[in-house]
Amino acid sequence: MRILILIALATLAINKKKLSITSFAFENNGRIPERYTCDGKNVNPELLIKGIPDGTKSLVLIVDDPDASEETFDHWIMWNIPAGGKLSENSASGIQGNNSSGENKYTGPCPPTGLHHYHFKLYAIDILLDLKEGSGKKQVMKAMEGHLLERAELIGLYER
Q: How confident is the model at residue 3 (pLDDT cuts 50, 70, 90)?
A: low
The tens digit of pLDDT for each residue in 17-61 reads 799 999 999 999 999 999 999 999 999 999 999 999 999 999 999
Identify the pLDDT of residue 129.
Answer: 98
Identify the pLDDT of residue 7.
Answer: 47
Domain count of the chain? 1
The answer to whether position 87 is within a domain reads: yes
For 115, the domain range is 18-158
Identify the pLDDT of residue 16.
Answer: 62
The tens digit of pLDDT for each residue in 92-111 reads 999 999 999 999 999 999 99
Which CATH number do you get for residue 134?
Answer: 3.90.280.10
**The dihedral sign for the CA sequence 47, 80, 84, 153:** positive
Q: How confident is the model at residue 69 (pLDDT cuts 50, 70, 90)?
A: confident
Asked which of 12-21, 85-94, 96-105, 144-153 is least confident by mean pLDDT, the reply is 12-21
The answer to whether position 4 is within a domain reads: no
The answer to whether position 85 is within a domain reads: yes
The answer to whether position 12 is within a domain reads: no
Identify the pLDDT of residue 70.
Answer: 84
The answer to whether position 6 is within a domain reads: no
The answer to whether position 64 is within a domain reads: yes
Between β-strands 47-50 and 95-96, what pairing exists: parallel, antiparallel or unpaired?
A: unpaired
The closest of 89, 109, 110, 106 to 25, measured between CA atoms, is 89
Computed over every residue of the chain, the mean pLDDT equals 92
